[in-house]
Amino acid sequence: MAAPTTNKIKYGLRNVHYALITEDPTTGAITYGAPKRLPGGVSLNLEPAGETVDFYADDSSYYSEATNNGYDGELEVANLTDEFRMDVLGDTYENGVMYENADQVTKPFALLFEFQGDIKAKRHVLYFCKASRPTVAGQTKNETTEPQTSSLTFTARPRPDTKDVKADTTPEINAALYDAWYTKVHEKGDVTGA
C-alpha cells in the first residue's frame, strides 16, 4: 500500500469543537454527542504521555517497549464559553450567574480541530479527553488593548473501550467524511459522513 500524500507545512488552528461522551455503565461502550463549536482557538499544544520500559538481561537491554498513554495538552482560546463550562466542567447557571462548586465533576469529551496545510487542512479528533479548571487571569489596559486569553489544560487518553487515542485526515479522505468531520465524531470504520 502506498503512503498517503502529506502536506509540506502546517500552520494555523481553527474549527475547534468538542463532543460530550456518554459511557454505558454496563458495557463500557462509548457514544458521542453532536460536536459543538468552541470559537476563538489561539493555540494547541500536545505532549506525548507515556514512557519507555526497558528490561535488562544478558547484561544489556533485552526488551524495550514504549507505552502510549495519549497526550497531555493545553488549549488556548480567546474566551472559554459558558456553554463549555457547563457541559464539560460542570459549572451551573442560575439567574445570570455562573457557579463553580468544589464537588462538581468534569465530563469526558472528544476534541476536534484542524491545522491548515499547503494541500488540504488536516482535521483531527482526540477521542477521550478530560479537562482541568482553566486559569483565570486579567491585566490592566495600557495604551493599547491587549486581549486576554483562557488556557485549558487537559488529558487525551486512549478510549477505554477501543484504546483509540486520535485520528487525523489525509488529502485522500472521502469528501463526505471530510465535510461531515464536525457534524459527528469520526470513528474507525466510518466510510461516510452520515
- What's 25's domain CATH number? 2.30.110
Q: What's the pLDDT at 143?
A: 81
Low-confidence stretches of the chain (pLDDT < 70) are 192-194
- Domain assignment present for 3: no
**Of the candidates 74, 168, 87, 179, the residue with the CA atom closest to the CA atom of residue 125:** 168
Q: What's the pLDDT at 163?
A: 94
- Domain assignment present for 43: yes
Q: What's the pLDDT at 193?
A: 62
8 A C-beta contact, residue 53 and residue 36: no
Neighbours of 21 (CB within 10 A): 21
- Domain assignment present for 84: yes
- Domain assignment present for 194: no
Q: What's the pLDDT at 189?
A: 86
Q: How far apart, in whole angstroms, are the C-alpha atoms of residue 161 and residue 166? A: 14
- Domain assignment present for 62: yes
Domain of 134?
Answer: 10-179
Q: What's the pLDDT at 144?
A: 80
8 A C-beta contact, residue 188 and residue 181: no
What is the grid cell recorded at 32?
458521542
What is residue 86's three-state secondary structure? helix
- Domain assignment present for 29: yes
**Of the candidates 47, 49, 44, 80, the residue with the CA atom closest to the CA atom of residue 67:** 49
Read off the pTM.
0.89
The total number of structural domains in the chain stands at 1
- Domain assignment present for 14: yes
Query: For residue 19, with 0-12 CB atoms within 10 Å meaning exposed, 13-18 middle and 19 or more buried, which class applies?
Result: buried
Q: What's the pLDDT at 81?
A: 95
- Domain assignment present for 2: no
